Amino acid sequence: MKKEIRLALVYRDMWQSSGKYVPRVDQLVRVAQPIIDIGCFARVETNGGGFEQVNLLFGENPNKSVREWTTPFNNAGIQTQMLERGLNGIRMSPVPADVRRLMFKVKKKQGTDISRSFDGLNNPANLANSFKFAKEAGMIAQGALSVTHSPVHTVDYYIGLADSYIDLGAEEICIKDMAGIGRPVSIGKIVGGIRKRHPDILIQYHGHSTTGFSVVSSLEAARNGADIIDVGMEPLSWGTGHADLLTVHEMLKDAGFILPDINNKAYMEVRSLSQEFIDDFLGEYINPRNRFMNSLLIGPGLPGGMMGSLMADLEKNLSSLNKWLVKRDKAPMTQEQLLIKLFEEVEYAWPRLGYPPLVTPFSQYVKNVSLMNALQTIKGKERWSMIDENTWGMILGRSGQLLGELGDEIKALAEKQNREYYEGIPQDLYPDELEIYKKKMDEKGWDYGQDDEELMEYAMHPQQYETFKSGEAKINFTKDLEARRTAKLAKSDAHLPSEIFVELEGKKYKVTVDNGDKNETSSKDTKTPISTSPSGEEKFVVAPLEGKFYATKDNSDKPVQVGDKVEIGDTIGYIEAMKVINAIKSDVSGTILEIYPNHGDEIEEDDQIIKLN
């Protein structure tokens, strides 16, 4: 008897695997009905992951977006699914249990049917609450196995992991092949092994096409008992995204599976609308490289879902690196050269970091440390000199235990810095916070929102939410978008303006445009490097990388102040870069005379942070 198989459109992931942003709510609502009209989707991924944060970043309320975007699918009887990061909820850092519980209640009320929950370390203990809270809220609890390829991540390991998730309450299992590096035959064996042990469990395969394996993996998954296959659509299929609906549909039909027919007219309408959204503004944040598959990624195993942010980070760091090189009469590097250097460094660093699955947020941690290692070695410095606080949390077990053993140099560094390992339950490290955020909202006169959705949003993304509420997020996004458009137009123009004026809501803002002229010297190019001058002379601590400066990591910390004594190795502030927090350590000692950046200021590499004597 022929087997029926269903398809899920991962529309959210299509965008976030390609670039930084997702469409606005008005655009999402426009494309919903044509997606429904295609006629072959049992499920559509509408939200979760970074959806909330990127909405806030461009000044849009994510709660309004989720409600309006899920409604057409709810009415059509198509299930909606979201991506949830376990201990990290829908952000990049751990979330208190009461905030996680409220999130599931809100998402169900907003129209989301299924929570695909994964843990970056495949730690079952971190997902117990996800399954519990999802079912309490009336959602379907799906447990995702984060697939990676290493000596410790075997077929038997993943089959046993599925057993653990099901024992904890998972009602479905997803094979989350986020980097597309799961070898097809192994994917089939994992699915087959789970199916043999759990004949009635629903199994869904999610594979990015980054390395070229995903079409074959989809077929192997289907043949071995998968019920649903995730797909993408033109113009955002393939590359770091997902195999296209048309290819997967035809392949499965040829293999003897039963699927609903495709309405090609509706497919072309969705394709056309998605291209319109790209042309509107989203294309400014999509690196062309992300539209191509890359077999070089088989080695480092970095996931498609982070390649959009990776290329943006690489572009920014390349600009800083080349300024550093040019100032020292060294030849600048190309993006290709730095990318290959990064890939090589990931292959070196990943085993020494304990083989964390290369999925959010740990793929970002491995990438960030590897990129810092690459930049430091290019500058003639030692590896591991820039390990951010988030990565230390992973190393020390604050998110759960790593499957692999840490490298000797990491162990030695932890011992040198008197770092303590944690072996308890990670959730216990993050006490409840909802009452704190209720009090803050009461003091500000902010409404908790329908079903407490605004309270959830604030507690989940406090900094981004405050910036959104102030209107600053929309201003910053508009300025950045206009600067990108101007820079693109000026690539063929030798007379690129250094400043442009942007009008937003009746106010004019001046935007500085970086034209990439390596011969231009700005005030930031003349900053004094870290100095070890003789006693009595002025010394400076400068930014080790560019990003956003924070005087403290959280509200409980006390910032350094003028007059404070600083010793070598003391933390004098933090830089948020590439989605993680990096401590700024002083290389000099003395008394603080001046502190230059304000809390929240954007700073560049080599900018002076404090002056001492």
Distance, in Å, from the CA atom of 442 to the CA atom of 464, rounded to the nearest integer, reads 18
Q: Is the dihedral of CA 221, 224, 229, 234 positive or negative?
A: positive
| CATH code for the structural domain at 525-612 | 2.40.50.100
- The owner of tokens 């692999």 is 404
Q: Answer yes or no: is pLDDT of 113 > 80.
A: yes
Task: Enter the tokens of residue 58.
Answer: 């461009």
Please state whether 329 falls in left (phi above 0), alpha (psi between -120 and 50) or beta.
Answer: left
End-to-end CA distance of the chain: 82
Between the ranges 88-92, 272-276, 499-503, where is the mean pLDDT highest?
A: 272-276
Angle at which helices 184-197 and 214-223 cross, to 10°:
20
| Residue 334 CB neighbours (<10 A) | 11
pLDDT at 525: 41
Comparison of pLDDT for 360 and 99, the residue scoring more: 99
Residue 143: what pLDDT?
A: 98
Q: What is the mean pLDDT of residues 377-397?
A: 90
Pairing label, strands 590-595, 202-207: unpaired
d(CA 477, CA 276): 19
Nearest-angstrom CA–CA distance, 44 and 103 = 20
Q: Which residues of 276-286 are buried (b: 16+ CB within 10 A; e: fewer)?
A: ebbeebbbbbb
| DSSP β-bridge partners for residue 116 | 83, 142
Task: Tell me which DSSP letter residue 426 carries.
Answer: G
Does the pLDDT of residue 267 top 90, yes or no? yes
Domain ranges of the chain: 295-428, 433-470, 472-512, 525-612
Closest CA to 221 of 233, 232, 231, 236: 231
Helix (H, G, I), strand (E, B), or coil: what is residue 597?
Answer: coil
- Residue 518's pLDDT is 41
The predicted pLDDT at position 318 comes to 86
- pLDDT range class, residue 578, cuts 50, 70, 90: low
> Which tokens hold the place of 128?
């117990």
Peptide bond into 303 cis (omega under 30): no
- Residue with the larger pLDDT of the pair 307 and 582: 582
Indicate whether 561 pLDDT > 60: yes
Residue 103 has pLDDT above 60, yes or no: yes
- Cβ burial, residue 521 (10 Å; 0-12/13-18/19+): exposed
Query: Token pair for residue 26?
Result: 């008005």
Residue pair 596/568 in contact by the 8 Å Cβ criterion: no
* Chain position carrying tokens 């044509």: 34
Reference 110, options 449, 458, 437; nearest CA is 449
3-state secondary structure of 63: helix
pLDDT tens track for 482-533: 999 988 887 756 455 555 555 555 655 555 555 544 444 333 443 434 343 4
Q: How far apart are CA 380 and CA 448, in angstroms?
A: 52
pLDDT of residue 529: 40
If pLDDT is split at 50, 70 and 90, which confidence band does 228 have? very high
Q: How far apart are CA 212 and CA 381, in angstroms?
A: 36
Over residues 44-70, the mean pLDDT reads: 94
DSSP assigned state of 93: S
Provide the percentage of residues in the chain whose pLDDT is more than 90. Answer: 62
In the predicted model, what is the mean pLDDT of residues 542-561?
80
- The stretch 238-249 carries a mean pLDDT of 95
DSSP 360-377: TTHHHHHHHHHHHHHHHH
DSSP 296-314: GGGTT---GGGHHHHHHHH
If DSSP codes are grouped into helix, strand and coil, which group holds residue 79? Answer: strand
Please give the Cα distance from 304 to 238 (Å, whole number). 10
The confidence score (pLDDT) of residue 520 equals 40
- Of the chain, the percentage scoring pLDDT greater than 70 comes to 90
- Mean pLDDT for 212-236 is 97
- Closest by alpha carbon to 455, among 96, 92, 28? 96
**What is the rounded distance in angstroms from the CA atom of residue 438 to the CA atom of residue 448?**
8
SS3 category, 543: coil
Instruction: Give this prediction's pTM.
Output: 0.81
Residue 555: count of CB within 10 angstroms of its CB:
7
| DSSP state, residue 528 | P
Containing 410, the helix (H) or strand (E) segment is helix 408-416
Cα four-point dihedral sign 358, 360, 366, 368? positive
Question: Mean of the per-residue pLDDT values for the chain?
Answer: 89
Tokens of 125: 């203990």
Identify which of 283-292, 351-360, 423-432 has the greatest average pLDDT.
423-432
pLDDT 10s digits, 337-377: 888 898 899 999 999 999 998 887 888 899 889 988 999 89
Say if residue 273 is exposed, middle or buried (CB neighbours under 10 Å; 0-12, 13-18, 19+): middle
Q: Identify the three-state secondary structure at position 177.
A: strand
Local structure of residue 20 (DSSP, 8 states)? S
What is the distance between the alpha carbons of residues 347 and 69, in angstroms, rounded to a whole number?
40
Per-residue pLDDT tens for 179-222? 899 999 999 999 999 999 999 999 999 999 989 999 999 999 99
Q: What is the average pLDDT across 292-313? A: 73
